[in-house]
Amino acid sequence: MKGWIIDCYPDYEHDCIVIWIKTNRGIERFVDKRFFPKFYVWAQEERLMKLADDLTMFDVKELTFENKKIWLGEEEKPTLGVTVNKYGSLNQLARLVSRWGDYRDYSLFNVDMRFEQRFFLAYDLFPMGLVEFEKELRSIDSPYRLDYPIPNLRTSNLKVNVKARNGIPTFDDPIGSVQLDEVTIDGPEENVLIDLDSLVRKIDPDVIYTCDGDGFYMHYLAKRAERYDLRFDLGRESGGRFSKGKSYFTYGRILYKPPAHKLRGRIHIDTSSSFMFAESGIYGLIDLSRLCGIPVQDLSRLSPGSAISAMQVNEALRTGHLVLWKKNLPERFKTARELIVCDRGGFIYEPSVGIHDGIVEVDFASLYPSIMVRYNISPETVMCDCCPDSSRIVPEIGYRICEKRIGLIPKVLDPIIKRRLTFKRLMKGDGRRREIYEQRSKILKWLLVTCFGYTGYRNARFGRIECHESINAYGREILLRTSEIAQRRGFRIIHGIVDSLWLEGDADPTEFCKEAAEVTGIPLQIEGRYRWIVFLPTITTNVGALNRYYGLFDIGEIKVRGIALRKNDTPPLIRDLQTDMLKVLSKARNSEEFKRATPSALDVTDIYVRDLLDRKIPLEKLVITKRVSKNLNDYRQWNDSVAALKQLSYKGFDIQPGEVVEYVICDAGSHSASERVKIAQFLRGDETYDADKYVEQVLRATADILSPLGWDLKTLQNRMRSNAAGTSWSSIRTHR
Amino acid sequence: MMKKARMHASASTYAAFLDPLGGFVLSILLEQEKSLRALKEKNEER
């Protein structure tokens, strides 16, 4: 029989791998008992012999001496392979060996890897790949195919309505109703749970989508079922696979990862917490799952960075390398001068603030990944031992790069870059599969974006800071060289960030891109020509800000970066305001017309201000969404977020750092948590909002767009006061 | 003066001065030179 592997996981009780295979007729459960995990130890030879001797006392399936490469690019060395009988004992045994060697004498390898990933590698299989199976599984597919048959997955959407007493559902609130696709089940709670269970079994979906199933609903349903002594499990086989939720800090933000609630034999995707699903949809996930060897259900809960790491690990293992457990690759010592030279990011030309006509934007496609491939940057190729006289030298910082071998990272990235370009090309055709290609191209884009950051991450399997520095150095060199070419051809550079340039002038951009691509070896593309573009200043200093601009392409499309409209915490009202203003401004065909359209844009602001003061704005338009960065007790200052947290805490809700709170500001000056804000979920509809506060936000959002034309916050406030004096507007002060 | 320095912050980073004051002072001098030149030209036009 033939079918696709849709789910795969280890069974720790029976020590086997369970594989669920979707066939054209239905679903098959396949158990593979051949597979036993193995880890490796390296030490001095006599110690290794002694260790092998000691290990025979334990429940070990097999001890083998094998020659393996213990670090990228090194020669093979004798290692001891330890195959365990019990899946659950691998980690214990590895920890024990590590302790025997005082955490110093033994280097351990291949310890903390996913069992399904090991299994796939061992038998040349991959998830979502087509297999043939009788007694054994055999792959009849290749992960790198561009067009491959996709299983016809049956999908269902699950939605739970909770009778929440306090607006926000808790485990103590009963189930109101449950919706599975078009069917709604309500009535007594016990019956709802029983009916849902049998309906899921009847429909037998392969994929169940939920919104916040991981964060709340799956756990909630199980808890409710406990009250009636029911066993609640939506999997094809009982036994869930859970993990705890956690708050973590990344790129200056606290984020919250909800606990995972994975099913057996069915794919549960939480659409609200899966970054990759939100970005690329199911076709993207399937494509990446095939490439990196992680089943879709697990993959949907990971970051693109974990996926690229998995691909690197797979490639390393395939080429006879071992993967070190608890990698500890110290950074080479650097002097202060070296650090100043090396530790820098991409190159930037400060934008010239204001409105410009006829600007051309050009971009390097996947600049950083392309640099890694083209200049062979990988942890084992930068300053390698084998090429001390290499002629490949990183600009500015002088690291030498290996000329003899292609590094691991370029080897992994090269096919991904090419694959993405192919999908992008296929996307342009208007076939039925356009959406599929688009999703695949999107997920690969995220893969490429993250792989650069991982080179600078100390704990990443193949991270090394010197790679990160080299990539940046090449990036700066490339942008500088490109700028020189642009200037020689008569362009003026208005702005440039890392991999993009905004150019003014009448020279031929196509010819320019061709020359730049030839010189740098990386394709340069025209993003578009703007009828007009406005570069915005930073709010505090008035100097040009990076990545804050909006402009109108000559094809009529508007591109917006960095203004309130694009931010997650902006209330819908402000988003509407800026969208409406841009709509008015987008009628302008050049900067002259833009300036003439400014009064009409200010009219839009006036309408919003008047509606706010006349209390015509519905409360849901005013909801502010804020990500909480600390626990309530750790806050020292008094602000809207703290008031919101306090209000939630009064009602018994504990918010973790990284989770979001939604509220409306009712009285910004109040010292009482219940008067200052109102949590969105608690709104009854008769609350009064703080009109002054929201008027200020409207004016700020206006200044956000129009400040380069002289309309900053102060000017706008003065204008409004004089307006108010002369028109029917009631005075703002008395309106509270 | 701070604003003048900020206008050349990226260029100063690229130059990688050992002492950040170098980039700071040069930025201010450059901007002052530009205003001087502009004023002179204006004066000559008269």
pLDDT in tens, A420-457: 999 999 988 777 889 999 999 999 999 999 999 888 88
- Predicted local confidence at residue A726, as pLDDT: 56
User: A265 Cβ partners below 8 Å, 6+ apart?
Assistant: A7, A20, A27, A29, A235, A236, A237
Residues of A in contact with B16 (CB under 8 A): 340-341, 344
Which residue type sits at A675? E
Nearest to A519 by CA among A480, A492, A549, A550: A480
- Rounded to whole angstroms, the maximal C-alpha distance in chain A is 95
List the single best residue of B3, B6, B21, B34 to mutate versus A (max A Cβ within 10 A): B6
Nearest to A660 by CA among A674, A684, A677, A680: A680
Query: CB-CB: which of B8, B11, B18 is closest to A340?
Result: B18
DSSP designation for A264: E
Look at the alpha carbons of B16, B22, B25, B26 in this order and tell me if their dihedral is positive or negative: negative
**Residues A735, A692: contact at Cβ < 8 Å?**
yes
Helix (H, G, I), strand (E, B) or coil at A39: strand
- Predicted local confidence at residue A531, as pLDDT: 96
CA distance A629 to A128: 38
Give the model confidence (pLDDT) of B6-28 as tens digits: 889 888 988 888 888 999 999 99
Half-sphere exposure of A180 (CA within 13 A, CB side): 21
Which residue of A lies nearest to B7 if distances are taken between CA atoms?
A543
Enumerate residue ranges in chain A where pLDDT < 70.
Answer: 240, 250-253, 725-736
Residues of A in contact with B9 (CB under 8 A): 350
Query: CB-CB: which of A340, A347, A543 is closest to B16?
Result: A340
Predicted complex ipTM = 0.85
- Predicted local confidence at residue A734, as pLDDT: 38
Secondary structure in 3-state letters for A400-457:
EECCCCCCHHHHHHHHHHHHHHHHHHHHHCCCCCHHHHHHHHHHHHHHHHHHHHHHCC
- Predicted local confidence at residue A37, as pLDDT: 95
- Predicted local confidence at residue A655, as pLDDT: 87
Helix (H, G, I), strand (E, B) or coil at A283: helix
Nearest to A274 by CA among A287, A291, A261, A263: A261
**Residues A634, A647: contact at Cβ < 8 Å?**
no
Nearest to A422 by CA among A96, A640, A414, A119: A414
Tell me the helices (H) and strands (E) count for chain A, helix number first. Answer: 20, 29
Which residue type sits at A715? T
CB burial string A649-677: b at 16+ within 10 A, e below: eeeebebebbbebbbbbbbeeeeebeebb
CA distance A546 to A348: 8
Residues of B in contact with A350 (CB under 8 A): 7-11
**Residue B23 C-alpha, separation from nearest chain A C-alpha, in angstroms:** 13
pTM: 0.87
Q: Which chain A residues in 347-366 lie under 8 Å from chain B, judged by CB atoms?
A: 347-350
User: A315 Cβ partners below 8 Å, 6+ apart?
Assistant: A408, A411, A412
**Residues A443, A279: contact at Cβ < 8 Å?**
yes
- Predicted local confidence at residue A251, as pLDDT: 65
- Predicted local confidence at residue A725, as pLDDT: 66
Residues of B in contact with A336 (CB under 8 A): 18
CA distance A285 to A296: 6
Nearest to A581 by CA among A709, A416, A391, A715: A709
CA distance A451 to A366: 11
User: A116 Cβ partners below 8 Å, 6+ apart?
Assistant: A8, A9, A10, A17, A127, A293, A294, A295, A298
- Predicted local confidence at residue A731, as pLDDT: 41
**Lookup: tokens for A108:** 């351990």
- B7:A350 CB<8 A: yes
**Residue A541 C-alpha, separation from nearest chain B C-alpha, in angstroms:** 7
- Predicted local confidence at residue A250, as pLDDT: 66
- A542:B10 CB<8 A: no
Pairing outcome for strands A137-139 and A60-69: unpaired
- A543:B6 CB<8 A: yes
